[in-house]
Structure 1
Amino acid sequence: MLPLVSVLTPTYNRLGELGELLEAVSRQTYKRLQVVVVNDNGVPVEPVCSLYPELDIRIVNLETNRKHVRARNIGLQYADGDYIMPCDDDDLLVPSHIETMMKHIEGADMVFSDAEIVNLVWQDGARVPIHRMEFAYEHDLAAMRQFSTFVPSGSLYRKIVHESVGSFDEQVYHYWDWDFFLRVSEKHRVKRVPIAGVLYAFSQDGGNLSGQLEDMKAYLNQLSAKHGLGELPAKNFFLLLEEPEVQSRRADTTVLWDGKPFRSRYAAIGRA
């Protein structure tokens, strides 16, 4: 029997986006999946999840809003899979993604793929791209200590790594993914998959672009102190991508997405 993969998704008041993620998961060529949806005290997600009866969905409803890192840690307790795949509720996966990642994790403990950074807007009940950009960089651990190109959504790792590195660190908050990558890399083999199988929803117009830089700086300082990273700049994400050190790591990748929207069943009944 194929190993079970648990897709771990915290969500808060984004039913339309969650519906599209579930649509993407339902299209996966790798079928032995569990989806752990952690509703962080938002509107009920059952109206969306019930539309995908073919998926093994475990809904975890939190009684208070615990924020996304704590929600992930709670979700881990309900993940039955041998492998964990974190995925934000607004990101998407191409249909072959999980199958590809399962093939590449042989001989490793964690794999992460390239991505497309996609600016998506709602149009007729589905999100359509208005801008796409390849996000593909060589995996250089020393360089990753200065600027992380690890995309947590769609990454895949063996659940047992938590036995050696612990849970996601809620204290570094904005940089929980960078911290987790560094901790796993210290003790386990990590590989990059040069295929853009993840569609990372990220707007250049605001939203999750930069957040409150001063607030983020405090967490960045905590991350740096924890790992001995030295002085790290809290800059706009797209400005950081223009830094020469980052530009020098750009790599070729394989782009798979045909650009068509992942119209969900929730949208089909006029709810998105």
Structure 2
Amino acid sequence: MLTELPLISLVTPTYNRAKYLPETVDSVLNQSYRNIEFIIVDDGSTDATGEYLATLSPSVKVLRQSNAGQVAALTAGWGASTGTYLGYLSDDDILLPDAIATLVKHLEAEPEAVATFPNTNLIDQNGRVVRERGGRPFSLAELVIEQECYIGPGAIFRRSVYDAVGGWDSRYKLAPDREFWMRVGCLGRIDFNPEVLALYRVHSGSLSVSGIVSDKLVDEFINVAEQFFDGPFCPDSLRASKNLAVANANLVAARGHLRNGHLTRFARSIMTAHRYDPASLNLKAMSRLVRAVIPPQLKQPIARLVGRFRRSS
């Protein structure tokens, strides 16, 4: 029966995504799991989003606010939620029909897991798959030290986790999810489901494709790394890795400055990384720097070619 299923509250913050939002909403409404509290927070949209939201069933809780950003929208949504489990879904991503049922079942069966997330396929603006199985298992050390986060759409976590660590940090606009998962990962296991249960959309309006953000936002990765090691959640087992982590965060910033064409800032970040830990300037880091300057319009074709090569090998 419906009442026997734990309630999951899923929040979608949205801003001017009328083109993609209906497909996102349909993917939630078509879930096989039937006890979902779906909350959409309209963050001051000026396109046709408002008109579309007005057509939805009352079963979807719609909140509206003046434009304040994704973090504020998520905070409002989670603040209005009542579920045992919480999650979020971007307004251009898609959940496959059994996603919530599979992930909730896992957390119910694994009490030591504090969160779980599925594998994903990357799709373009037309819904065409450009990369299959883009997810990887979670590693707190890899996230904190190597600055690699593979948690994509469909991630859910326990309300007790939210109560313990708090939500996304309003000081960040580019890296709030990364900083959040650092805190969550200190509480227990974040389990990866290798089954593809979600679709992550990349398009010209997303940072994953454009990659062009302000220098201030690029430097958020450095601030996040330093904050983590100076904060209350960092485990003793990672504290000795602070220099390498901050060095790698500077390399992430360097990639952003390189994309922006700000070579002085790029060089400064590289030198800072070397000062913190010379070992950070390795072949892997150099390869990432090279990829950072690939024109955005070529990234999807290259991803499709890589995907074809992997399938044929």
Relative to the length of structure 2, the TM-score reads 0.68
2:9 to 6, 10, 16: 6
- 1:154-180 Cα deviation digits (max 9, x unpaired): 101111212210121111321111111
Higher-RCO chain (CA-CA 8 Å, sequence separation at least 6): 1
The match for 1:94 is 96
Larger radius of gyration: 2
Partner AA of 1:38 in structure 2: V
Shift of 1:101: 0.6
The match for 1:256 is none
Contact 1:38 1:59 in 2 (8 A): yes
Partner AA of 1:48 in structure 2: Y
CA distance in 1 between partners of 2:26 and 2:5 (Å): 22
Identity of aligned residues (%): 23
CA distance in 2 between partners of 1:246 and 1:141 (Å): 23
Q: Secondary structure at the match of 1:71?
A: helix
Shift of 1:7: 1.1
The match for 2:151 is 151
Contact 2:43 2:73 in 1 (8 A): yes
Q: How does 1:121-132 map to 2 (within 5 A)?
A: 121=126, 128-129=127-128, 131-132=130-131
Partner AA of 1:110 in structure 2: A
RMSD of the alignment, in Å?
2.6
Unaligned runs of 5+ in 1: 122-127, 248-272
CA distance in 2 between partners of 1:246 and 1:74 (Å): 40
Q: How does 1:149-228 map to 2 (within 5 A)?
A: 149-203=149-203, 207-208=206-207, 209=209, 210-212=211-213, 214-228=215-229
1:9–1:246 distance in 2 versus 1, CA, 3 Å: farther
Partner AA of 1:89 in structure 2: D
The match for 1:37 is 40
Contact 2:120 2:134 in 1 (8 A): yes
Partner AA of 1:230 in structure 2: V
Contact 1:10 1:68 in 2 (8 A): yes
Contact 1:175 1:219 in 2 (8 A): yes
Q: Secondary structure at the match of 1:197?
A: strand
1:243–1:197 distance in 2 versus 1, CA, 3 Å: farther
Contact 2:120 2:152 in 1 (8 A): no
Contact 1:14 1:89 in 2 (8 A): yes
Which piece of structure 1 moves more, 107-116 or 1-10?
107-116
Partner AA of 1:74 in structure 2: A
Unaligned runs of 5+ in 2: 230-244, 260-282, 289-313
Contact 1:86 1:152 in 2 (8 A): no
Which piece of structure 1 moves more, 148-157 or 26-35?
148-157
The match for 2:19 is 16
Number of aligned residue pairs: 234
The match for 1:141 is 140
1:206–1:47 distance in 2 versus 1, CA, 3 Å: closer
1:119–1:87 distance in 2 versus 1, CA, 3 Å: same
